[in-house]
Amino acid sequence: MISVLLIGKGNVASHLHDVFLKADTIEVTQISSRNLENIPDANVTIIAVSDDAISEVSAKVNNNLVVHTSGACSIDELKNKNRKGVFYMLQTFSKGKEVDFKKVPFCLEATNLEDQKLLNKLAKSIGENIYEINSKQRKSLHVSAVFVNNFTNHMYKIGSDICKENKVPFDILQPLIKETASKIATLSPKEAQTGPAIRNDEKTIKSHLGLLSTEQQEIYKILTKSIQNGN
């Protein structure tokens, strides 16, 4: 049995609480980060709060092993006096939408082998994809995630705006969006690229630019140039 204390009441903390409750080998307690006067002890204390609050909250926790869940923060952001670690799940968590933890990649970091084993065991109680990732690697994963998630979502946003502007249903594009995402499970993104930029089809590029707003044009041009540079 592993005892887990969750500090925080946000999306990540709530989803973790729900899934730990279902695991036979885990005993879980959840408290708010606003009420840290009586902190129960636990084998692993998971601080799942906003990046800015990690330092302040962790300074108040005297438990043995204290980990945060942030992709952007180094392990050194933790200010507790005892052992430290990171329990980062690389997935988007939305309120009200159930998470399939079997598919979530767990990126774990610890400062000694015993803690690493404990975090691996904890992650295996709810998931399957476990990676040992240090703070520098995690930071690079986090910036990659901004490109493949936030910026990709912004491409969808612009596509949807263009459709709205021209009165065609955005839903026509949904199969293409799904196919684009599933293609790179078998092809590298470089091999999967198609379209006017990679073909250097100047006529089509010029005609597309005529349909766009100034900001959209700027984005279209810089991404076309970047595709053509092969970078």
Q: Does residue 157 bind its own copies (CB under 8 A)?
A: yes
- Binding residues for its own copies restricted to 128-147, rule: CB under 8 A: 129, 131, 133, 136-137, 139-147
Kind plus residue range of the DSSP H or E element containing 85: strand 83-89
Interface pick for its own copies out of 40, 51, 124, 125 (rule CB under 8 A): 51
Figure out which of the listed residues 105, 120, 124, 135 binds its own copies, where binding follows CB under 8 A.
Answer: 105
Residue number, 43 or 196, with CB nearest to its own copies: 196
Applying CB under 8 A, does 103 fall inside the site for its own copies?
yes
Site residues for its own copies, window 202-231 (CB under 8 A)?
Answer: 203-204, 207-208, 211-213, 215-216, 218-220, 222-223, 226-227, 229, 231
Site for its own copies in 168-187 (CB under 8 A): 168-170, 172-185, 187
* CB 177 to its own copies: min, Å: 5
Long-range contacts of 190-198 (CB under 8 A, 24+ apart): 190/230, 193/227, 196/224, 197/223, 197/224, 197/227, 197/228, 198/227, 198/228
Alpha helices, DSSP H, located in the chain: 11-22, 54-59, 113-124, 135-145, 152-165, 174-183, 189-192, 196-199, 202-209, 214-229
**Which of 32, 112, 153, 200 touches its own copies (CB under 8 A)?**
153
Cα dihedral 89, 133, 28, 128 sign: positive
